[in-house]
Amino acid sequence: MNQLEEQALQEAIVNDKCDAILARADHYSLQLEVVYSAFKHKEEFPKASLLECLQVGADEWDVAL
Residue pLDDT, tens place only, 3-53: 989 999 999 999 999 999 999 999 999 999 999 999 999 999 999 999 999
pTM listed for this prediction: 0.89
Under 8 Å between Cβ of 25 and 33: yes
pLDDT band at 1 (very low <50, low <70, confident <90, very high): confident
| Cβ atoms within 10 Å of 53's Cβ, excluding its own | 23
Q: pLDDT: is 2 or 1 the higher one?
A: 2
The C-alpha atoms of residue 53 and residue 32 are separated, in whole angstroms, by 13
pLDDT of residue 11: 95
Residue closest to 52 by CA, chosen among 27, 23, 17: 17
